[in-house]
Structure 1
Amino acid sequence: MAINGILPLWKEKGMTSHDCVFKLRKILKTKKVGHTGTLDPEVDGVLPICIGNTTKVAEYITDQGKTYEAEVAIGFSTETEDATGQMVEQNSEDKKITRGQILAALEGLTGEITQIPPMYSAVKVGGKKLYEYARAGIAVERPLRKVQIDSIELLDDAEEWAGVNIHFRIRIKCGKGTYIRTLAVQIGEALGYPAHMSQLTRTESGKFKKEDCLTLAQVDEIAQNGTIGTVLKPLAYGLAEFPLLEVQPENFFAMKNGQVLPVHPLLESTKFVVFTISGEPFALYKKHPDKAGKMKPEKMFGLPTEDEV
């Protein structure tokens, strides 16, 4: 029996995203398993996993907004910008930082901001990943990136922090491509001190929240009970941020054959429109890049069959 659906997985610390995929392939006895964006081994949190035909929507889940809870450590910076790296700069003086100063720093980093990706990251420059250059001791110019920070909330209640090393927790809602460890460094810069990210948890990924998630052990138990279908979300769940429209009978054969059609008005305000048959995704359309007033298919989806979970 084919397994299709989106699994809201809670990735535990010490595992890579690929480790999770490898283990799930064995648990579910299927090869068609893919994650929706990597989490570093020391980061735990929400990691939606696409299984079977839902791997077609993995990229759209990856593009959706994320929510993180992080601890910012003020006092020293590291080569990796998190707690796993070697110290590169330290300020050993006693510090006093007020709540107002932190809130001002967070406000200044809200909205569209510019980041320089960490050297220890998978961003490619000249066909090689930055961490490959870093491990070889080669300095390269890193590309500037624009990222969207929707909000940053200070989670601690203190009015003042004092000491050589200061820690406080924040909650970040952000768009695709944001490096939270780089954001921690930027917060430190705004406060006038070297800093790094000392802990990170992803609490939301698109529509998926912490309370929706299962651990690998829980998935294994459910799979052995033969009830894995009860915890999987349908393909449409991964496309929920886009408008859903039922296919009109006169357009069915044209869409089935992937033809270009007159543009739908909704595409003036959204990137994609999902056309459905009996509520099930059938075709994902976008504005035609070259033909004004037209739209073209971005992706086609098959309808579920009776042997699917």
Structure 2
Amino acid sequence: MNSGLLLIDKVQGWTSHDAVARTRRLAGTRKVGHAGTLDPMATGLLVLGVNSSTRLLTFVVGLDKEYLATIRLGASTTTDDAEGDELTRAPADTVAGISAEAVAAGIAALTGDISQQPSAVSAIKVDGQRAYARVRAGEDVQLAERPVTVSSFELLSQRSVDGFLDLDVRVNCGSGTYIRALARDLGAGLGVGGHLTRLRRTRIGPFRVEDASLLDQLDVAAEIISPTDAATRLLDRLDLTEQQAVDLGHGKRIEVIAVPVLRGPIAAVAPDGRLVGLVEVRGTTAKSILNFPADEPGAATTALQPSGESA
């Protein structure tokens, strides 16, 4: 059974769980997980871990992300997207009177380090139960605001549609940011209401949707990113001697001489290219904090070379 990461371009209507279930069948293993969900309405990049590489997903979850979205100004909904029931609708002439300067100011106010109240239909747990499940059960759920980072919020184009104003935007943001909430808050700030009609995730850290595959075209063996390739895109790298690789595999500390300044867990790689594990360096010694099995097929192979674009 292969180990590694898979990049999936999720289609509209599928849940993240659907994608995981399909990949389990294609990969021939139950051990498949994902690094962050996408709503059924949304499309785009899902990063899946297979077998031992599910342990690398921890380092994917918190990465920054990029989205392309369409925000509809002029109406608010119960879910802050097009799948919810309409709550309010602004008069068409009021929407038509929104100036470009007002839109720009509203976007600027939602850029940077901001405080955001997640949508009530998010997957955040409230007393052990998902918020969206409580909403579906008829509860009035109000989630606490939390700090998030929106590093860029760019207006790409806009158009009038049936009394609404549709904005096509690109958002780069930190983990935990809800694009639906940006749509809601932009519409509220302009006094007309707002919600999402389209959402596509195009990047998670170093991984881009251009390198992803649709599930009905996925060839797991050909497209899986090896543990070494995946780990060294996510973490700093330490190249080992053969003896160091053996010693780490046996749980021994190793001496590391002239080690550059390395951050956090480090991917330790054997001379044959195999990911031995993740190590922690203190002073001139390193110890393993997570070992990877040497006997998984493809453990020392590479696939899907980096796109070369910055994260």
Residues of 2 paired with 1:131 and 1:287: CA distance?
42
* Cα deviations by residue, 1:91-113 (Å, 9 ceiling, x for unpaired): 22412223332222222222222
Q: Structure 1 residue 266: deviation in Å?
A: 2.9
What is the number of equivalent residue pairs in this alignment? 294
Residues of 2 paired with 1:297 and 1:305: CA distance?
19
Secondary structure of the residue that 1:238 maps to in structure 2? helix
Secondary structure of the residue that 2:13 maps to in structure 1? coil
State the Cα RMSD in Å: 3.0
1:80–1:120 Cα contact (<8 Å) kept: yes
1:97–1:162 Cα contact (<8 Å) kept: no
Name stretches of at least 5 consecutive residues in structure 1 with no aligned partner. Answer: 223-227
TM-score by length of 2: 0.82
Residues of 2 paired with 1:261 and 1:141: CA distance?
51
Residues of 2 paired with 1:63 and 1:206: CA distance?
9
Q: Structure 1 residue 190: deviation in Å?
A: 2.9
Q: Structure 1 residue 293: deviation in Å?
A: 11
What is aligned with 1:277?
A: 270
2:4–2:230 Cα contact (<8 Å) kept: no
What is aligned with 2:156?
A: 155
1:191-210 alignment to 2 at 5 Å? Answer: 191-210=190-209
TM-score by length of 1: 0.83
Residues of 1 paired with 2:254 and 2:185: CA distance?
47
1:252-267 alignment to 2 at 5 Å? Answer: 255-256=248-249, 258=251, 266-267=261-262
Residues of 2 paired with 1:97 and 1:205: CA distance?
33
Q: Which one is further off, 252-261 or 76-85?
A: 252-261
1:75–1:195 Cα contact (<8 Å) kept: yes
Note closer, same or farther for the CA distance 1:282–1:143 as it changes in structure 2 (3 Å cut): farther
Note closer, same or farther for the CA distance 1:170–1:306 as it changes in structure 2 (3 Å cut): closer
1:126-145 alignment to 2 at 5 Å? Answer: 126-145=127-146
Q: Which one is further off, 178-187 or 46-55?
A: 46-55
1:231 aligns to 2:223 (yes or no): yes
Letter in 2 for 1:76: A
1:54–1:235 Cα contact (<8 Å) kept: yes
Letter in 2 for 1:302: P
Q: Structure 1 residue 54: deviation in Å?
A: 1.7
Residues of 2 paired with 1:162 and 1:3: CA distance?
48
What is aligned with 2:236?
A: 243
Letter in 2 for 1:144: E
What is aligned with 1:115?
A: 116
1:1-309 alignment to 2 at 5 Å? Answer: 2-94=1-93, 95=95, 96-156=97-157, 164-219=163-218, 222=219, 228-239=220-231, 240-247=233-240, 255-256=248-249, 258=251, 266-267=261-262, 270-278=263-271, 279-285=273-279, 297-303=288-294, 305=296
Residues of 2 paired with 1:191 and 1:206: CA distance?
32
Residues of 1 paired with 2:185 and 2:251: CA distance?
46
Aligned-residue identity in percent: 31
Note closer, same or farther for the CA distance 1:294–1:104 as it changes in structure 2 (3 Å cut): farther
* Cα deviations by residue, 1:256-299 (Å, 9 ceiling, x for unpaired): 455678997635xx3432222224332324589xxx99986543
Residues of 2 paired with 1:247 and 1:203: CA distance?
35
Q: Structure 1 residue 39: deviation in Å?
A: 0.8
Letter in 2 for 1:272: P
